Amino acid sequence: MLRTVSKLVWRGVCGFGRRRGPDNATPRRILVTRIQNVGDCIVILPTLSQLRRSFPEAEIHVLAGTSAGEAIFRMGPAVDRILRTRWPAPTGWREKWREIEMIGDAHYDAVLLSTEETGMALKVFLAGVPVRIGFDRIVHISGTHVEARPHLLTRVLHQLPGEHEVTVNLKLAEALGAKLGEPRFDLQIPAEAHQSLSKVLEDAGLEAERALVVHVGTKQERKRWSAECFASVCDALSAQGLSIVLVGVAEERPLVEQMKARMQAPCIDLCGRTSLAELAALFVRCRAFLGNDSGPMHLAAACGAKVCAVFVQSDPAGWGPWTAPERRRVFTDAEATPEALVAALREMLAMDNSVSTSLEAG
């Protein structure tokens, strides 16, 4: 153990001595950390895209901590390699040493610590990464995350009040020297996902272009709007010609069953039957998405779907769906009623030339 500690401290000191800023040599190998769930990984895709456009010859690696996050990054054309860690982050020293050595052995020129990894400055310093960019403190609904050792970063960034998570993380690319353009959610959905989704839809007798995809779940129970309210919205829109498609992971089966029990209209239940890539393929083709603030909401927006979402506790200014204003309708818990959501969805869908006469007429 003493030998390992000595090695890591020496590596950190060497990295500190090799410090260079964004105006120096172009980085050849960059690590971006994002170890949480689907939504967290979606909102950092524009940062990865900006890095790829600014540093086309660089290797861009991502440190991911969940299988869902890894699945998102595998669809990201800007990502060359995915490193896996564990989330929640390991607490034992042996695991921490292994993570530090994994990062150090890759010989990165720069590491960008995203907003979800405030607190990793010591790790990447000991890994010997010469350019270490991160935030001093980040305020999220889950709490305030403070970097205990900002002096170990070569560049310290700041979150502004009310700033969207997409623009906050873009500061990482800008600090490294990337020239920022319009944020883009670059995703390459595998052809196999499109093909397998088509088979699922065919078996269900569903035309994706008429589908209202509904996700009633979210990781945190406190962020969920009631299943009864979602059911009322779906009943009203089903009567106007939309096909209701329920999605979610297998663990959300009880919520989906609650939803179905409260609905009068028929629905197609795909809960637990789609991979993330297949879900993305569905979002590319569907009419609209309805749900809570969740990972699938962010994925739907990234795939170009129209989004209607309820933010029961989180702040839509910081975590709302990143898409054109005419393609999103967002409600706080105080604003959300079934009638308001029905009206919002009808308004969005009426903008389509292909919208049914019943939706136009109301």
Q: Is 181 helix (H, G, I), strand (E, B) or coil?
A: coil
Contact 168, 31 (CB under 8 A): no
Distance of CA 188 to the CA centre of its chain: 15
Give me the half-sphere count of Cα atoms (radius 13 Å) on the Cβ side of residue 335: 15
- Identify which of 141, 163, 143, 147 has the alpha carbon closest to the alpha carbon of residue 33: 147
Return the pLDDT at 220: 83
Q: Tell which residue, 213, 218, 324, 328, has the closest CA to residue 278.
A: 213
Distances (CA, A) of 359 to 14, 211, 268: 65, 14, 20
Cis peptide leading into residue 190 (ω within 30°): no
What integer pLDDT is reported at residue 1 of this predicted model? 46
CA dist., res. 331 & res. 322, Å (int): 15
Does 2-176 match 191-361 in CATH topology? Answer: yes
- Of 85, 76, 95, 75, which Cα lies nearest the Cα of 34? 85
Top CATH class of 191-361 equals alpha beta
d(CA 36, CA 34): 6
Domain ranges of the chain: 2-176, 191-361
Look at residue 356 in the predicted model and tell me its pLDDT.
42
Residues 90, 87: Cα–Cα separation, whole Å:
7
Task: Tell me what pLDDT residue 24 has.
Answer: 54
**How would you write the pLDDT of the chain (362 residues) with one tens digit per residue?**
444 444 545 454 444 444 444 445 799 999 999 878 899 999 999 999 999 999 999 999 999 999 999 999 999 999 999 999 877 776 778 888 999 999 999 999 999 999 867 678 999 999 999 999 999 988 877 678 888 899 999 999 999 988 999 999 999 999 999 999 999 999 999 999 999 999 999 999 999 999 999 999 988 888 899 999 999 999 999 999 999 999 999 999 999 999 999 999 999 999 999 999 999 999 999 999 999 999 999 999 999 999 999 999 889 999 999 999 999 999 999 999 999 999 999 999 997 754 443 444 34
Class for domain 2-176, per CATH?
alpha beta
Length of the chain: 362
Distance of CA 158 to the CA centre of its chain: 21
60 forms bridges with which residues in the sheet? 30
The single residue listed with the structure tokens 């089903």 is 238
Quick check: 183 and 298 in contact, CB under 8 A?
Answer: no
pLDDT for 287: 96
Q: What is the pTM of this model?
A: 0.90
| Paired residues of 310 in beta bridges | 292, 331
What distance in Å separates the CA atoms of residue 192 and residue 69, rounded to the nearest whole number?
19
What residues have CB less than 8 Å from 316, skipping those under 6 apart? 293, 309, 330, 332
Closest by Cα among 233, 234, 261 to 245: 234
d(CA 193, CA 44): 23
Q: What share of the chain is helix, strand, coil (3-state, %, to 5)?
A: 45, 15, 40
CA-CA distance, 321 to 343, in Å (whole number)? 19
Q: At what angle do helices 165-176 and 45-54 cross, to 10 degrees?
A: 20
